[in-house]
Structure formats: C-alpha cells, structure tokens
Chain A
Amino acid sequence: MNKTSNPQDLAQIAKRVRREIVSMITAAKSGHPGGSLSATEILVTLYFDVMKHDPANPHWADRDRFILGKGHACPVLYSVMAECGYTPLDKLNTFRQLGSIYQGHPDVRFIPALEASTGSLGEGLSLGLGMACAARLNGSPSRAFVVLGDGEIQEGQIWEAAMFGAFHKLDNCVCIVDYNKIQLDGFTKDIMDVEPLADKWRAFGWHTIEVDGHSIEALQAAFAEAAATKGKPTVLIAHTIKGKGVSFMENNPKFHGTAPTAAECEQALKELA
C-alpha cells in the first residue's frame, strides 16, 4: 500500500471512501451511513499515515492495533481496509449479504485481519487497553487506537476502562471519540448528555486533545502530540458532523441507521464527486 502524509492525498482518499460508504449501504439497503461518514478522516489518517501496519502481513506482531468500538460504522472500516489492500474493493457492494466477508458489524471470523468483533457498544476501549498492556509486556512498540462513538461512551464500561488506562499509565493507547453529537434516537444532549466531555477525560487522568475531526492536518498534529505524550494515555475528542459530506445526511439523526434510496445515493455521489 502507498502510505502518505500529504493532506491533499489523504483528502482524496477520504473522498473515495465516502463514495464507497454511500454505495455499499445503498446496495445493502440497510446500514449506518451517519457515523461512517463522520469518522472518515479519522480512519483515513490512521490507516494511511499514522499507524504502523502491513496489509501483506496482517498478523505482524509489532503492528499497531485498530479497534472500531462503534462497530455499526464498519462501512468506513471496510472501505479503508479495502483501499489499503486487506480485502477486495470490488466486493464492498456485497455488504450485509449472506456469505459476504463484509458483515453487518465487524466479524473476525470473516476478516481475520480485523483486531476485534465489535457491535455491542462499550467494549472496544477495554480491548485496546488489554492489547496495549500486552505490547508493553512484550517490549513491543505496538500501539492501540480505539474509535468510540459519543453515544457509546454512555456505557459504564468505558469509564471503568478510562480509569484502568490512566492507572496503568498506558501511553501506548490512543482513544478517539467521534463526537458527532448524535446517537440512535436523536441528539446526544437530549438522550444522555455527555458534557462536559473534555473535563471528564481530564478528570480520569487522560491527556485530552480537542480537535476538528474533519481536518486532516489537525488530526495529524493531534496524533503526533499523542505519540509524544508519555506516562498517560491520550484521548482525542474529535468534533465531527454526523453524515459529513452529504448535505441531506449532515447533522440529521435519520441517517444514523437508514440506508439512502437509489435517488438519494445518486445525489450523494454527485456531492462527493
């Protein structure tokens, strides 16, 4: 795969990924576009610039680990992994069909290069921290990157994990909260407000960076700061827009878990051209 630190190149990849997300969910007639589109720059920056990994050697012991806590957003993960060369690009449109490797939620039985089967919210951060512990024991430079949803962090287990990460000084774990302000039933502030969010993470002992989750340069700078931060784990609170890039999906709770119609897909692909 061709890694790059050039923000323009990364932005081009992000645009392709967005198109693939919209197309695969349309083909499947179900799935979660909103949270896939909000996390696109985060995953593209990680997989194409920040993380050390090798699609030709997916089980390389010292690879960095990626865990999508909010497993329902797997279209963005599938698209990025396919763009990297882990899995076939031309099969993305089999998403959610019987026998497809692109299951409704990430499933290691179907894609062994995945680090975790997720879909039940709230468990990814603990997994990532466990992997970070193992890396430290092994003297490995491997780091764990975990993407969580802002609704997902309402799970109590997230805060148990947060305490664990700071207590064990796991500076080789980076958590990214995709703070798109919307969950399944509506706006996060109306379902179970998570504010003051940065204060919460700071109080739990994490190095906390607030960042524009759609600015590749800002994300690159934040990941560099995370790498340089020793003695405590880092969390990026990535301010994002759910449905980013498609006008009628942006900030619209309806597109948490609704597939676009064929006409909507056409319109979306035009906007993403």
Chain B
Amino acid sequence: MVANKFELKPGGATREAFGKTLVELGRESKDVVVCDADLSKSTYTHLFAKEFPERFFSCGIAESNMVAIGAGLASAGKTAFVSSFSAFVLNKGFEQLRVTAAYPNVPLKVVGTHSGISIGEDGPSQMSIEDISLACSLPGFSVFSPADEVSMAAIMRLATAHPGPVFIRAGRAKTLVVYGPDQQFEIGKAIELVTGTDVVLIAHGLMVAESLKAVDLLAAEGISAGVVDMHTIKPIDREAIIRAAQVGAIVVSEEHLVDCGLGVRVAQVLSETKPCIVEYVGVQNTYAESGTPDAILDKYGLRAANVADAAKRAIARKRG
C-alpha cells in the first residue's frame, strides 16, 4: 500500500488568501485598484478598503456596472480587480465581461468568491456551479481555480502580472492545505501531486484535497491512483492530460456542473489526442439546496468516496 505523502492540514479559505494577497499587491503597486459590490466583508476586499480607501471603489449592489467600471479602470492602465460572489459577478456581469473586457482584450482581474455549492445554507441563488463554463467562454480570459490558500496567493500574483484578463475562482469554506510554502506555480502548468499507475484523478479547487484523500481510500484496495491539480483551467495543460491518459483511466472532479466544466475540456483534449476512459464527479444537471456545507457536499456527491467510486468504475471499464 502506497501511503499518501500528503498530510492535509487545515488552512484558511481561498477568499481570505485572496483578500490578504490583494493588500500585499496594493502595497507593491499604486496602480492596484479594487471594485466591490456590497460584499467586501464576505470577499475580504474590506482589508484592501481599510488600507487603501482612495483606491477602493464601492459600487453598491450593481455587479454589471461594477464590471464595466473595472474595465474602464483597466483600460486606463490600472491593475483593476472586480470582485463579488462568483454567481453575481459572472452571471449579472457576463455581458459586460464579454464586451468591455474579453472582446477588447482589457486586462481586467475578476475574482469570484463563494463558488461551488460548499457555501451551504444560503442555497442555490448564491451558489455558483456554472462560473468555470462562463469564464472559459470568454476568448482571451485565463481561468484559475486554486485548491488552497498557498496556491491562491501564488496565482493572484501570476494573474496580476499576466497581461490579459483573468477569472479566479475562490471559495467560502476553509480548505485543507495541499502545498508547502515553496511550491512553484506557472500559468497553464498543472501540478502532478501524486503519480499512479491504475488511474489518474484530475481536479480543481476543493476537489484536489478530496482526490488526495481518495488516493488513500484506493490504496487500501490495492489501487494506485495519481492526482493532478488543474489549477489553470484555461489555457489548459494538454501535456499533463496526455500524460494522465497513459494509465488508461481518468476521473475529473469539480465543484461545478459536470456538463460544462473542466471535465468536458479534458475530454476535448483527449478526443483530439489520446482517447481515454473518463469518469466525471461534479454537480449533475441540477441546482443544489440549503444545508450545512458538509451535508451538501455529501448529498451532491463531492467527497473522496465519490472520487474513489468513480475511479473504480473507470478502471472496470478500462479492463472491459
């Protein structure tokens, strides 16, 4: 049995790491500006507002306007961040993201917090299960979904330095820390956390930690599983996917609708290069409901056990 070399220690929420890194970026450059739509205490942009009130623009509850204000700031040379719950900034702001940021290639930095269904009690109107799909449908956007606070901080820096528009997905819930402080990140380069010979588990966001836990569950049954953190969903790391396909069975797990998230993008790469059996773990063509985050993740099947089950299905199909 291969022991998992990952000790998953409890860490902070990615939204908190976002807010803290934003303050650091603000100290490093006077050009960093932030727009908020009456959620600064939830998105942690209040930390930036406190230190740099003159560079913080309160937009009120008006997300579409906020996105275009941010695009205006970015068009005029500012490093402009706009942030709200992922559900609101992407859904209400989509037309503005398309026409004022993506189409003219304005390097707006969009951060959506409270993504996925792990927000729990507030329920579907505040949950974001289609944000990866929407963001990926904006030509020129780079799309990130960090797994923990370490990767969020690193990706914030990469995204800020990146010359194009970006979307970064953050969560409300506390995460398990996957990475050590020295881990290097590169845009578009997935991280192969564990190598395995029977199946490879590809994931983003909180499903990376669940996939790491699934490695242990599978090892107990004599199955060797690898794990890939696809922190950059666009541009996608084709090489990492092709390498994963060498074992002949892949599971893609995400806190997102399976119909239109990372899974279909992985499948597209495979269909163009090295067809491979894939199983998908995610939200199945439905809106979730209210409940504690744990109860919701259990009910909608976003747990290590669900990943392990999917892995066994994939391996069984591979064996025919």
Contacts and interface: CB of A to CB of B under 8 A. Distances in A.
B125 to A, nearest CB: 3
A271 to B, nearest CB: 26
Given A120-B91, A151-B38, A98 B58 contact: no
Given A100-B290, A103-B290, A184 B299 contact: no
B197 interface: no
A57 B87 CA distance: 35
Contacts of B91: 120
A170 B290 CA distance: 35
Interface in A36-88: 71
B105 interface: no
Nearest to A102: B290
B54 to A, nearest CB: 15
B292 A105 contact: no
Given A192-B58, A192-B61, A103 B88 contact: no
Interface residues of B, number: 31
Contacts of B88: 120
B75 interface: no
A190 B125 CA distance: 26
B192 interface: no
Nearest to B292: A98
Interface stretch (B116-124, B141-149, B255-263): B116-124
Contacts of A115: none
A40 to B, nearest CB: 22
A180 interface: no
Interface string A113-147: 00001111110000000000000000000000000
Interface in B60-104: 60-62, 64-65, 87-88, 91-92
B39 interface: yes
A154 B60 contact: yes
B296 interface: yes
Nearest to B125: A119
A30 B62 contact: no
B208 to A, nearest CB: 25
A28 interface: yes
A121 B122 CA distance: 13
Given A119-B123, A154-B62, A184-B39, A98 B92 contact: no
B59 interface: yes
B59 A192 contact: yes
Contacts of B290: 96-98, 100, 103-105, 107
Given A154-B60, A183-B38, A185-B46, A98 B291 contact: yes
Contacts of B87: 120
A117 B125 contact: yes
Contacts of B246: none
Contacts of B58: 185, 190-192
Given A97-B290, A151-B61, A191 B123 contact: no
Contacts of B124: 105, 107, 117, 119
B61 A119 contact: no
**Among A104, A107, A155, A192, residue most surrounded by chain B Cβ atoms (within 10 Å):** A104
A119 B125 CA distance: 5
B289 interface: yes
Nearest to A152: B61
B295 interface: yes
B126 A155 contact: no
A8 to B, nearest CB: 36
Interface string B266-288: 00000000000000000000000
B41 interface: yes
A180 B291 CA distance: 29
Contacts of B121: 28, 30-31, 96, 104
A7 interface: no
Interface in A146-171: 151-152, 154-156
A98 B38 contact: no
Contacts of B42: 184
A119 B91 CA distance: 13
Interface in A173-194: 183-185, 190-192
B39 A119 contact: no
Interface string B25-58: 0000000000010111110001000000000001
A120 B39 contact: no
Contacts of A185: 36, 38-41, 46, 58
A99 interface: yes
A155 B122 CA distance: 20
Given A98-B290, A98-B299, A192-B59, A104 B123 contact: yes
A151 B58 CA distance: 12
Contact of A107 (B39, B59, B289): B289
A70 to B, nearest CB: 10
B84 to A, nearest CB: 11
A98 B290 CA distance: 6
Nearest to B49: A185
6 contacts: A96-B121, A97-B290, A105-B122, A105-B290, A110-B289, A119-B124
Interface of B: 36, 38-42, 46, 58-62, 64-65, 87-88, 91-92, 121-126, 289-292, 295-296, 299
Given A98-B292, A156-B64, 5 more contacts: A98-B289, A107-B123, A122-B61, A155-B92, A191-B58
The 5 A-B residue pairs with the shortest CB-CB distance in the complex, in nearest-first order: A192-B60, A119-B125, A98-B291, A154-B60, A104-B123
